Structure 1
Amino acid sequence: MRGQILVFNEQKEAGAIVTEDGRRILFHISDWQDVVPPDRGMAVSFMLDSENRPRQVQLALPDPMPTAAPAAPIPAPPSGPPLALRPKRKPVVTLLALFLGFFGAHRFYMGAWGWGLVQLLGVPMVIGILFALVPPLGGLLYFAAFAFIVVESIRYIWMSDVEFDAKVLAYQAARPGPFAFFW
């Protein structure tokens, strides 16, 4: 049941609760289950025992809010700057180039998604076709692509952090597009 504390006397350690239907019920401090001491006006919930005495008296949780019509959708927060203009970290670019460079992962990270798509889709497909038709030429192109990625990865490894940050700032100041090249 729910009610409200009408009065509470600390010396007598007893109080009265008025229920929602207007009944007045006396309770003792030994039935109080909350950390906060009872006080006049508090909304409480309790259970009645077989003798209609309140047990487990405690502060009542607020009534759940009535469900209203669905509100308008919350607009998405602004997505921030484009991918190419977000801060870049040298270890991320280096590891992406080293392990996923053949698939252009580092190009996507730098915001050059055009070159990333070319490298992801075009390079393996062209090399695969040439390797099937003319194995020596396909093998040569595969070796050239692999060598280019290794050289690019070594370039990132040997570049100092200060030099990398300066190059990123210059790269981002030029407002790179999908076919920008970061070297």
Structure 2
Amino acid sequence: MDDQSDGQIGPDPSLLLVDDDELFVTRLGRAMEKRGFQPRTALSVTDALRLIGEAAPAFAVIDLRLEDGSGLDVVEALRDAREDARIIVLTGYGAIATAVAAVKMGATDYLAKPADADDVTSALLASGELLPPPPENPMSADRVRWEHIQRVYEQCDRNVSETARRLHMHRRTLQRILAKRGPR
């Protein structure tokens, strides 16, 4: 295995951070710099694609939901530009299905928000054979249920009736669940 996958940054510490939350990406950039990375930040798909075109980084942390599009476009562009890049996708509100799609497209792993710099560093440097340690605060059973409902809903093209049929639940019950914010 290469140096990047055994807990070391390796010879190329370049890191691309993509998130439309400017405060978050700035803080994460500073924290990752303290850990030995050389971060560049992008607040949009457009900015990220431009930075990849200039110099494809060895590492990337990409939020999947950006104001001007999907982080999946950034994952795909980076994977095309640099096969050995270690890409971590960040998922937030109901995006586990999208995170799975990102991993299938070439992302190394995904993390649920909020993720701190230690979580990101562990995921970026984790060896392919070794799983990172379990999270300090794993998702609750209610959250896992909610994420599953969101996944099926997305797979049904956001059709409530079809989602309810596939989940064997009443349509109005499903509508009430979807109207609420997900549990933490």
- TM-score normalised by L of structure 1: 0.19
Bigger CA radius of gyration: 1
Q: Structure 2 length as normaliser, TM-score? A: 0.19
